[in-house]
Structure 1
Amino acid sequence: MWNSKDIYFVSDSTGILATNLGHAMIRQFPEVSFHEERFPFILSREEAEKTLAYILQHSGGRRPIIFSTIMDREIRRIFDHPEVELFDVFEAFLKRLEDSLETKALRVPGFSRQIDNITMAKRVEAIHFSLEHDDGVRSNEADEAEAILLGVSRTGKTPVCVYLATQMGLKAANFPLTAEYLREYKLPEPLRRNARRSVGLTTTPELLHNVREKRYPNSSYAKLATCRKEIKQAEQIFHTYNIPVISTAGRSIEEIATQVTQELGISRKPSDK
């Protein structure tokens, strides 16, 4: 068994797809240590040959693994080298899909990133909205939000909202459940009115304690008892207003964002290659 492996993600676009797919697979092998590098926008034979030379030089004959989403067959073929293990995403699936659909694919690099001006304008609008409605700011405009995240401090509301906006084009706002609302087990009227577009984020008291302790050591805010009490109060509020709850404990931002869209019945928009 290999104790460590070099992993390279090569793409003629951003490399996001190759990286995400590779990560999903290598995480199934926690006993192996991986060294990772990404090489995006490989658009010529010269760039491919230079990249392969780098990989071979730095891997020292240890048969590195390459995850590729390169469309051009000639460029892709350069990485099909006897000293590497090539996992070719498109070669594995695209030809089979062509046969299934009885037509030819475009095979255009980065085509999923070629969005029209209207789509881009909506994406930018969503980003601005999320930044302007972070941490309870302008909560009176909750009617305009497509998704509203609620939770006590440090449960991950802001990063998930940013992901919803930047990657999914959704107008996402978030609202912190501070002592005032926790004590009275209530939400302000604009949020009560939009409870059907809201999702509550929670976590374990231990994880919340660890996060808060790093930011405000030895504070009452970070005490485990405080965290336990606030989480319980917040979950009671979610129950009162019939708001679905997602635990952020041990989950990536992408996983949480995807579950948010599922809870709200929102179709996820495709990500870049």
Structure 2
Amino acid sequence: MWSSKDVYYISDSTGILATNLGQALICQFPEINFHEEKFPFVLNIEEAKKILNYILKKSAGRRPLIFSTIMTKEIRAVFDAPEVELFDAFEFFMTRLEGCLEAKALGVPGFSRHIDNLTMAKRVEAIHFCLEHDDGVNMHELDEAEVILLGVSRSGKTPVSVYLATQMGMKSANFPLTSEYLKEYLLPEEIIKNKKRAIGLTTTPEVLHNVREKRYADSNYAKRSTCSEEIQTAETIFHNHQIPIVSTAGKSIEEIATQVSQELGLSRKPTSLNERS
């Protein structure tokens, strides 16, 4: 068994798909150390050859892994070398898909990045809205929000909100349940009026304690008892107002965002610029 392996993600677009695919696979081998590098926007044979030479020199005959999502066959062929282990996503899936559909694929690199101006405008608008409605700011504009995330401090509201905006094109706002609301078991009127678009984020006392402890060590704010009490109170508030609850404990931002959108019936085909990576 290998103790370590070099891994390279190569794409004619952003490289996100190649990276996600490779990492989803290699994480199943925790006993092996992986050294990873990414090469996005590989658009010609000359550049591909330079990258392959770099890989071969750096890996020194240790048969590195290459995860590729390059569409152009000629460029892709450069990396099909005996000194490396090539995992070619498009060659594997596209050939089979063409057979299933009885049709020929376009074969255009990064095709889904060529989105229309309207889609781009909506994405930019969602991002601006998210930034302008973070942490309870501009509450009077919540009528425009598609998603309103609620939760105690450090429960994951902002990163999930940003992901919903940047990757799913949703106008997302978030509101922190501070002590003034927790003590009285209250929600602002603006939230109650728009609660059909609200989701309560929760977590475990252990996770919340660990997150807060890193920022404010040995503080009352970070105590496990404080975390437990705040979480219980927040969940009671959510139940009182019949607001769906999504736990962030042990989940990736992508998982949480997907569950949030499903709870609100907002699941949709993503429109991000990195769809074809």
Bin of the TM-score, shorter chain as denominator length: over 0.9
1:125-170, CA deviations, whole angstroms, 9 ceiling, x for partnerless residues?
Answer: 0000000000001122211101111100011111111111111111
Q: SS state of the match for residue 200, structure 1? A: strand
2:203 aligned partner: 203
What does residue 133 of structure 2 align with?
133
SS at 1:51 equivalent: helix
Residue deviations 1:156-203 (CA, integer Å, cap 9, x gap): 111111111111111000000011111121211121122221111111
Alignment of 1:25-44 (within 5 A): 25-44=25-44
Give the whole-Å Cα distance in 2 for the aligned partners of 1:264 and 1:56. 49
Tell me the amino acid that sits aligned with residue 193 of structure 2: R
Letter in 2 for 1:31: E
Deviates more, 1:5-14 or 1:215-224: 215-224
> Equivalent residue for 2:50?
50
Partner of 1:184: 184
Partner of 1:158: 158
The whole-number CA distance in structure 1 between the counterparts of 2:127 and 2:4 is 39
Could you say which residue in structure 1 is the equivalent of 2:171?
Answer: 171
1:30-88: per-residue Cα shift (whole Å, max 9, x none)?
22211110000000111100111111111121111100000000110111111111110
Structure 2 CA distance for aligned equivalents of residues 204 and 9 of structure 1: 35
Correspondence for 2:13:
13
State the 1:219 CA deviation.
1.5
Q: For residues 236-255 of structure 1, what are the structure 2 equivalents within 5 Å?
A: 236-255=236-255
> Partners of 1:256 and 1:6 in 2: how far apart?
31
Structure 1: gaps spanning 5 or more residues: none
Q: Which residue of 2 aligns with 1:215?
A: 215
Is 1:107 aligned with 2:92? no
Please, which moves more after superposition, 41-50 or 28-37? 28-37
Offset, 1:267: 2.4
- Equivalent pairs counted in the alignment come to 273
Which deviates further from its counterpart, 198-207 or 145-154? 198-207
Match of 1:261 in 2: 261
Name segments (4+ residues, structure 1) moved above 3 Å.
Answer: none
Find the residue that maps to 1:105 and give its secondary structure: coil
- TM-score, normalising length from structure 1? 0.97
1:233 match: 233
- The residue aligned with 2:80 is 80
Give the distance between the partners of 1:237 and 1:231, measured in 2 at CA.
10
Corresponding residue for residue 98 of structure 1: 98
TM-superposed deviation, 1:232: 0.6
User: Could you list the runs of 5+ residues in structure 2 that have no partner in the other structure?
Assistant: none
Judge conservation of contact 2:169–2:271 (CA < 8 Å) in 1.
no
What CA RMSD, in Å, does the superposition of the two structures yield over aligned residues? 1.1
**Matched-pair identity in %:** 71
CA distance in 2, matches of 1:165, 1:230: 27
Secondary structure (helix, strand or coil) at the match of 1:41 reads coil
Per-residue deviation at 1:229?
0.4
Distance 2:141 2:56 in 1: 55
TM-score by length of 2: 0.96
- Which amino acid counterpart does residue 68 of structure 2 have in structure 1? S
1: distance between equivalents of 2:86 and 2:240? 53
Structure-1 separation of matches of 2:193 and 2:28: 43
What SS is found at the alignment partner of 1:199?
A: strand
CA contact 2:258–2:267 (8 Å) conserved in 1: no
Q: Distance in 2 between matches of 1:105 and 1:267?
A: 27
Which residue number in structure 2 is paired with residue 65 of structure 1? 65
AA paired with 2:265?
Answer: G
Deviation at 1:270, TM superposition (A): 4.2
2: CA distance, partners of 1:82 / 1:110? 27
Give the aligned partner of residue 145 of structure 2: 145
